[in-house]
Structure 1
């Protein structure tokens, strides 16, 4: 083929001037002499630029530059186009299909090279070097495509110990412990623990090393090594010297230590412990007090009465006014009468020293009931209301003038504290006055659980009477007298309900009790 042909051979090369897509195919090169023949098949592929681009990705030459510092791109395979003076053609550069300004500051053009100053990540991209040459009087275009990739500079880096960081840790003697040495760095393959200047013995039964290596997906040369030192028992000698982790690679060596120390008493832990203990104590005290409140209050009254501040006289004569049903049926009347006239005085007056006003016992015959009730309710510190189960017994509450006056004075006028006593379990309170229903809801009622057997003595130490005494005013403790009756310490009075002398039974029928009120013995 002549050199003027579009496809021709010049010396040892086959030229396509200009090249076309249809020139793609298989070509054979034969080399022979008198004794030897070599035939080589070559595949040539010619492509056009991709749409809207000035290049084809199939013809890219990849070149790499390291970030930080200067670098250069080389327009490849231009030596074939030197002129008769052996000079390369003049080259123009584009980046991403846009002309590149060679300002001799950021980019410098030199022969077939593009020098890039201070390579950064922003210099990545597709570069085009363009030149032209003349063949047989015709000028032809030469184009080369280069894809620039930037790389991080590989600098010598000694291993980095992430942990420990020259620290101390509190450890209880005799406990188990695991120390972790976390190391990262390129080509780090030599990590070990030391104690007291010596390596850990592989046969040591107390100190055992465990090795884990983790590869870094982003860099094959940088990996992470975790070396654990398992201590099965912390001995006293381990507090004398620190445990040191040492890491080496071809660039250097680093080390870090961890010192074991005895635990320091924590003020915060003590505070929390004290707070928890106080909480438990207070909760237990509240729980115990809720269960044994009545017993605690009565014990306090009996034990500390002499030490309590003396209260000014309140002008009251009676400790309690007893309001009870007086119009019940025959069967119920005997029960309530026995409780009101026998059991109640026996315990509260004889054993406890309280002074009661019981209508029908402590009033004078012929006295006006309204006047008597109104006068004596004002003289009483408590109002004890006796409740029974029978429906017919409900009608007495609030039905007579006495009950009206008593409830009014107790609940509205004088603010007397009311105590409800159930002689039997009462299922239905709806038929009772609203005032009684309100008291039941507010404070509840004390239910009798004793024995009605005649002649059976009652004790103030039973649960029922303790609850009654709890709601009664504080009373000076009683002491046995020579006559066998209980009397208050240091005083014996003989006043009556009306302030004058009161007829009493013979010495064999009555005993003087607290506040001098005669009751049946």
Structure 2
């Protein structure tokens, strides 16, 4: 028995020695830094209230908080000078902004000196917890509930307790970060005396507000601290008014779902009631079962209640369905009627307008394409199609056939000399000026490009075979002249040759087909496309007529400059 007692006394002595050594070590650690210092801050708080304190050593910079919050340590200085580590979760709360000393709630036993240490630096805080019974005026509210879009007032709860003291420098902070409540973006917040006024309340105003003010007690400056927790909810609740339309395509006898959707404002104790009822023409009332499904966020709650009509009848179309919703604030009822869905006239109008617009655009586009079709084709040919004149073993792009002053046909009824000369001027002046000089085509004009002395018939046949196109300037004089032989020869050549010669007919002046015309010529005049000349030979602007685009449309595709110098045709 004695040995046992000696062993217990020895173990107790060892444990006490270890504890004493630890306390001494802790005290020695703080003696050079904090032991002899006066407290940097003195706080006066009231019991039964939640309150917290920052570690003044810490910088609450977001980039530094993660590294600092694990380095901070809180200690309570006991009456014998030793330091007690604050490890009780009731007294210490770790937040996302670092280490806070948190009393929830503060009690009289929490009065004392607290030390916050970070690395080799530390700060002492004196905290005195006073009973609310000592207040001269009733302690203010430390928990408030406001609704959005209204006006609210937050008073410093402890302000009335020390009205007889010399109070100064009232300050307001929000949440654990102790951020100032006044900011450039918060125009509707004002502070007058000890009251913070929110002219318009928002959901983001919810949080914990801390008010500090200075007071002199026994010639020492004390900071009186109190907190107020503010909850914010939506102003009452609302129910969405709606009307459900029965789809005409479904007809009666088909199932239908009716969903009542209600939005409630925030409530601390949310106990909604939602139900469906219906009243038929014979005043028969029917109740529907079902459990509402609710979802919520920080500002509101939304509930749904769906009923199913297995078969919609004619009576259902005459009935009224009522969705009833109720919470602690009040109740509301919404009536729903079913009807055969009608075609939306507005949608039909929009469809009609869009259709007409698209039709107009289509017609305009078609008209533009029709009017400028030749220009579009020429543009396509210039940039896309290859040159037709390369490697075809032809000397001329077009042979020109016309009546000249030397034509064998001379009629007494002919007009003046200048009138008879128009076709020749057109053939040997205007055509080369435009087609050769402007568009680089190589033309064959018999009197200009064929050396004299050969047989006329053979020369015509040889030239036609060496040409890609044959242009005929038609008039009454041409049709009745021997020149019509050239047209007949060209038609025969185009029918016999493997690479067919293409003919371009220009109606220079109106004419009538005489009875003696060969049948092949008569058929060609009715079948081949004909371009009508309507210009003025004496007007320079005639070169820019649409007429020339039509001529180019029938001419071969040709790129680049002409590569010929001697126009005299080599008969050999």
Larger Rg: 1
Identify the structure with the greater helix proportion.
2
Give your verdict on TM over 0.5: no
TM-score, normalised relative to structure 1: 0.39
TM-score, normalised relative to structure 2: 0.36
